[in-house]
């Protein structure tokens, strides 16, 4: 059974940093594109960043230059380092698994989400 478990959420001040982790199990992490999707309180879903099995990363324009996605396939872990946080970065961050091996498409498994608050 595929499981994704996020951790590392919490509170930060504007300009601060947080690092999210996502522990994966039940599948071979290195074979799949992994993605972070966020949801501001009461709002819709927003694609944030993804990373291929080989480590190629893509970012939404709103986070490019501030967030860094990475993965440790040997430890079955996905990470999102968030720097220079802004108020509009607040929300729930989900890690999600790609549907097909080595392909960018839809997401068939999601974590439960990690809550990030940004406030002075």
Partner 1 sequence: DIQMTQSPSSVSASVGDRVTITCRASQNVRGRLAWYQQKPGKAPKLLIHAASTLQSGVPSRFSGSGSGTDFTLTINNLQPEDYATYYCQQANNFPFTFGQGTRLDI
Neighbouring-strand partners of residue 68: 81
Smallest gap from residue 84 Cβ to partner 1 (A):
20
Smallest gap from residue 92 Cβ to partner 1 (A):
9
Q: How many whole angstroms separate alpha carbon 114 and alpha carbon 98?
A: 19
**Residue 73: how many other CB atoms lie within 10 Å:** 16
Helix-then-strand count for the chain, H and E:
0, 11
Among 89, 94, 116, 117, binds partner 1 (CB under 8 A): 94
Structure tokens at 57: 């990363």
Which residues 30-89 are close enough to bind partner 1 by CB under 8 A?
A: 37, 44-47, 58, 60-61
Q: How far from each other are the two terminal CA atoms of the chain, in whole angstroms?
A: 40
Closer residue to partner 1 (CB): 5 or 87: 5
Closer residue to partner 1 (CB): 58 or 81: 58
Tell me which residues touch partner 1 (CB under 8 A): 37, 44-47, 58, 60-61, 94, 99, 104-108, 110-113
């Amino acid at each position: 059974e595929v499981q994704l478990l996020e951790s590392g959420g919490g509170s930060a001040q504007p300009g601060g940093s947080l690092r999210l982790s996502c522990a994966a199990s039940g599948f071979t992490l290195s074979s799949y594109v992994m993605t972070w999707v966020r949801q501001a309180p009461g709002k819709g879903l927003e694609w944030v960043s993804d990373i291929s099995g080989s480590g190629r990363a893509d970012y939404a324009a709103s986070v490019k230059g501030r967030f860094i996605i990475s993965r440790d396939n040997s430890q079955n872990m996905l990470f999102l380092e968030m720097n220079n946080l802004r108020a509009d970065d607040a929300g729930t961050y989900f890690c999600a698994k790609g549907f097909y091996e080595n392909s960018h498409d839809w997401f068939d498994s999601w974590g439960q989400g990690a809550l990030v608050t940004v406030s002075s």
